[in-house]
Amino acid sequence: MLKSERAKFIQQRLNELYPNPPIPLEHQSSFQLLVAVLLSAQCTDKRVNEVTPNLFAIASDAHAMLKVPTEEIYKIIRPCGLAPKKSAAISELSRILVEKYDGEVPENLLELEMLPGVGHKTASVVMSQGFGHPAFPVDTHIHRLAQRWGLTKGKNVTQTEKDLKRLFPPETWNKLHLQIIFYGREYCTARGCDGRVCDICTTCYPNRKKPFKNNKA
């Protein structure tokens, strides 16, 4: 099966399984989404969704968050892990948003990436899920699946993102990003599938005899 054929099959299968994938992180605004995605680093979406209601109850926007002491933010988000760095980042980015953008989240990838605690992946998620702009956020899970499915040979998420963007049209990126996440959690998990178990893996590589080993940077 050629790479283009694998890509077409994968997209068709994911559309069948997840025709309308929901956004995993609960939020009511682009600011809340930005904070939630920041908190999701090395933390599950489930845990973030348990924590953010308490945080947003006392500060639902950048103006309100700026008034909350960093120590108070830390106490609330502590279950998410890396709380000292994350609480400092939330406080500082709130200050920048208020002072530079009147409390609004910039609808610009480069400006988002310049905010404290916000890397390319987080900025891409906000552009995609918050503003609806075509983006293909790639984390380690999507990177792993893209390698396993023969869509990339990239050794890092940056190269994998470029490869996936070349394979799929921009109008599919936002939906496909979510579909791969949900499929990876349900069928092609790190421990549950070694490249020879799930439907997509076995269809793309029916003759694969050994467990697939991902390329690492």
Per-residue pLDDT of the chain (217 residues; tens, 9 = 90+): 899 999 999 999 999 999 999 999 999 999 999 999 999 998 999 999 999 999 999 999 999 999 999 999 999 999 998 999 999 999 999 999 999 999 999 999 999 999 999 999 999 999 999 999 999 999 988 999 999 999 999 889 999 999 999 999 999 999 999 999 999 999 999 889 999 999 999 999 999 999 998 876 5
Shared domain check, 107 and 178: no
pLDDT at res. 91:
98
pTM: 0.92
Final residue before a domain boundary, out of 103, 130, 157? 130
Q: What is the CATH number of the domain that holds 152?
A: 1.10.1670.10
Output the CA torsion 187→190→193→198 (10° steps).
Answer: 30
Shared domain check, 104 and 64: yes
Shared domain check, 166 and 115: no
Q: Is residue 11 part of a domain?
A: yes
Domain of 145 in residue numbering reads as 3-21+136-204
Shared domain check, 189 and 143: yes
Catalytic residue numbers, as ranges: 121, 139
